């Protein structure tokens, strides 16, 4: 279950935020086989004066509209899967009008033992089992 933190420049419209979330979600489904119901994406705005970054790091010309995606997920995806995921995210966000140059992605990987996804249950004990709250 990936958990995504999306940071966008203050003043980004709700529609643009929704497009970013949808694009990232669809890329996760397509590239790593994430189930559709695993949507957890927290969007936050940053003030322009509170985020400092190099506009030309690694030879990429970034604008004022940098979108930062921090993805936390269970370890086990290959480098090829990650490469496909990053490209898919950039492509889907470009369809939403965001330059691929302004898409900055990084990942944190961990294990099932590092999660509790509800009811205080240790995720290791419920590994991908679908439950019922009734």
With CA atoms as reference, report the closest residue to 45 among 17, 21, 15, 72: 17
2 flagged as catalytic:
yes
Q: Which of 2, 35, 48, 100 is catalytic?
A: 2
φ, ψ (nearest 5 deg) of residue 110: -150, -170
Contact present, 92 and 26 (Cβ < 8 Å): yes
With CA atoms as reference, report the closest residue to 104 among 36, 41, 55, 44: 55
CB within 8 A of 3, min separation 6: which ones? 40, 41, 42, 71, 72, 73
Which of the residues are catalytic?
2
């Amino acid at each position: 279950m990936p958990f995504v933190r999306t940071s966008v420049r203050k003043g980004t419209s709700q529609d643009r935020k929704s497009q970013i979330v949808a694009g990232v979600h669809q890329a996760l489904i397509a590239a790593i086989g994430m189930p559709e119901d695993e949507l957890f994406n927290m969007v936050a705005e940053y003030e322009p004066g509170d985020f400092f970054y190099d506009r030309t790091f690694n030879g990429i010309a970034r604008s004022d509209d940098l979108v930062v995606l921090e993805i936390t997920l269970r370890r086990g995806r290959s480098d090829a899967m990650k490469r496909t995921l990053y490209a898919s995210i950039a492509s889907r966000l470009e369809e939403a009008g965001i330059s691929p140059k302004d898409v900055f992605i990084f990942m944190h990987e961990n294990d099932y033992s590092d999660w509790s996804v509800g009811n205080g249950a240790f995720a290791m004990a419920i590994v991908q089992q679908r439950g019922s709250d009734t």
